[in-house]
Amino acid sequence: MRVYNTLGRELQEFVPRAPGKVSLYVCGPTVQSAPHVGHGRQAVAFDVIRRYLQWTGLAVRYVTNITDVEDKIIAAAQDEGVTAAEVARRTTAQFLEAYRRLRVAPPDGLAFATEHIPEMIELISRLISRGHAYPAGGDVYFAVRSFPGYGKLSGRNVDELVSGARIEPGEHKRDPLDFALWKASKPGEPVWESPWGPGRPGWHIECSAMAEKDLGFGFDIHGGGLDLVFPHHENEIAQSEAAAESAPFVRTWLHNGMVTLRGEKMSKSLGNVVGLLDLLASSRPEAVRLFYLRAQYRQPIEYAPDLLTEAEAALDRLWSFRRRLGAAAVVPDADVPDAAVLQAFRSAMDDDFNTAGALGVLFDAVREGNRLLDAGEDANPIAAAYDEITAVLAIDEPATSLADLAGDLDAIAARMGISGGSPDAVVTALIDLRSRARSGRDFAVADTVRRELAALGITLEDGADGTTWHRP
RNA sequence: GGCGGCGUGGCCGAGUGGUUCAGGCAAGGGUCUGCAAAACCCUUUACCCCGGUUCAAUUCCGGGCGCCGCCUCCA
């Protein structure tokens, strides 16, 4: 398996720290405002990476975080006249809801910054004692020039950074390059006690503290958005490696590309965001995932409604195929998956998680599976491979619940003169009734069944293998 | 200005030094079909420009043009 390591900027053979185990930390959001389409892309990209690693037999420990104390959260709270904790609580709930609906598997560890203040203080203290940080005016700063490796991730050198760096009013840096590890709190801001007085953590320190606490120094993979390479991840490396007097903090750095809108990066500060929950209100979660996965994770992807429509159509093609197998009453799970298909999938994914290539493999398999079914041949091995692949990508069709239609279905059953029962049983009975009517060329009854079910949003499809239904 | 990336057919998007082809969507034509769909088959000026290396370049090298990201908070 080869992955593109931002540290070194090259494809490298992936070798876990401990055989058979992978430790994976991904930078989660700062919960300052509602999630947008870009956040979803990141979450899905690493969800698939995690699922794929597991599928290959590796035991993955996946940790991500919620940064729930930070300048922008405080600013948002002050604008609204509520506490920072309230903004963080509400926004966190939105992110977790969006992730859940996107079928992002919950992490093994979900770390909140505000629950790791002691670890951060401990890390900062160690940096001070080792001469890499200094308190000043109630703040604590990291002394960038004390860490020779600074810039190795983002390809910058310290002397060229000076021109852009500056000291904001109220800061007490010795060097414009330095960054805050701890900030003295102003009245009304969140505050914790510390050896340097009441204050709150800087933005970069929480990931260093939380990742190391859960996964240990020198863990396997650290992920995040490409826009975090500098300064956030560069600073994480500096903090952790300076404190440990060891390297590397992280073996492999993976960064996902940005989502753009009309060619520009979607971001809060530009104001060109499309809400993730809004998108999920109008598109099926699996279609959104497919939209994301059509490009390899490092490439930028353009958001446009038409592209979601395309993804919806592509998803229908996948699910239609799988429904044919359901109608044919086969049991793919019991079959041996088609080895060539799985091998092709694996080689695409082993090439830096090339989901675009992997989807090509999947669609090829679907065409072949459909062809076999048309010919009346055995498509079960293809279907079994399809099931594995769509499970790894989490774009398989979820079981449809008809529970909310129970009353309506009973009413139809009564009108059509059959007995009621569970919603699924009624639908099955109606399909049987219609099949008998069709055999007797009583198309009026057959069409009535189709129409009645269509009114509830249930579509019937007739195929050589039988009739299937789906909603919507 | 510095660092990094990208430029493929109507749109999205993989990939490769040469042989038949990614794949999806859209469009057109067939086959099948009680209806409605789905499916299968066929089709539609691909590789930004200019040099170079090579028997052969979309693929490697150099230059140019264009676009994007980071250099300030950002997934």
- Using the CA of A203, which nucleotide's C1' is the nearest one? B73
How far is Cα A314 from Cα A303, in angstroms, rounded to an integer? Answer: 16
Q: Which of A400, A394, A390 is nearest to A106 (CA)?
A: A394
DSSP tag of A204: S
Nucleotides in B strand less than 7 A from protein CB? 1-6, 11-15, 22-26, 33-41, 67-75
- DSSP secondary structure, A104-132, as one string: PPPPSEEEEGGG-HHHHHHHHHHHHHTTS
Protein-to-nucleotide distance from the CA of A217 to the C1' of B51, whole angstroms: 50
Give Dmax (Cα) for chain A.
90
- Tell me the three state secondary structure of residue A421: coil
Q: Is-contact A182 A139, C-beta < 8 A? A: yes
- Using the CA of A320, which nucleotide's C1' is the nearest one? B38
Mean pLDDT, rounded, of chain A = 93
pLDDT at A467: 87
pLDDT at A71: 92
Which residues are CB-neighbours of A367 under 8 A, at least 6 positions away? none
Class of domain A2-265: alpha beta
Protein residue closest to B69, using CA and C1': A227
Protein-to-nucleotide distance from the CA of A143 to the C1' of B18, whole angstroms: 56
And the tokens for A9? 């900027």
How far is Cα A410 from Cα A203, in angstroms, rounded to an integer? Answer: 58
Protein residue closest to B5, using CA and C1': A299
How far is Cα A294 from Cα A257, in angstroms, rounded to an integer? Answer: 13
Protein-to-nucleotide distance from the CA of A3 to the C1' of B18, whole angstroms: 29
Evaluate the CA torsion angle A306, A308, A311, A313 in order and state its sign.
negative
Q: Is A320 left (phi over 0), alpha (psi -120 to 50) or beta?
A: alpha
Protein residue closest to B14, using CA and C1': A357
Which residues are CB-neighbours of A254 under 8 A, at least 6 positions away? A3, A4, A5, A6, A46, A49, A221, A222, A223, A224, A297
How far is Cα A139 from Cα A74, in angstroms, rounded to an integer? Answer: 17
And the tokens for A75? 């600013």
Residue ranges of domains in chain A: 2-265, 304-393, 403-470
Rg of chain A over all Cα atoms, to the nearest angstrom? 27
Protein-to-nucleotide distance from the CA of A10 to the C1' of B65, whole angstroms: 27
And the tokens for A300? 């930028």
Protein-to-nucleotide distance from the CA of A344 to the C1' of B48, whole angstroms: 32
pLDDT at A330: 56
Please report which residue ranges of A102-224 form alpha helices under DSSP H.
117-129, 158-161, 205-215
Class of domain A304-393: mainly alpha
ipTM for the predicted complex comes to 0.95
Q: Can you list the residues of chain A whose pLDDT is less than 70?
A: 163-164, 327-334
- Using the CA of A437, which nucleotide's C1' is the nearest one? B34
How far is Cα A211 from Cα A249, in angstroms, rounded to an integer? Answer: 10
Protein-to-nucleotide distance from the CA of A180 to the C1' of B67, whole angstroms: 35
Protein-to-nucleotide distance from the CA of A267 to the C1' of B45, whole angstroms: 39
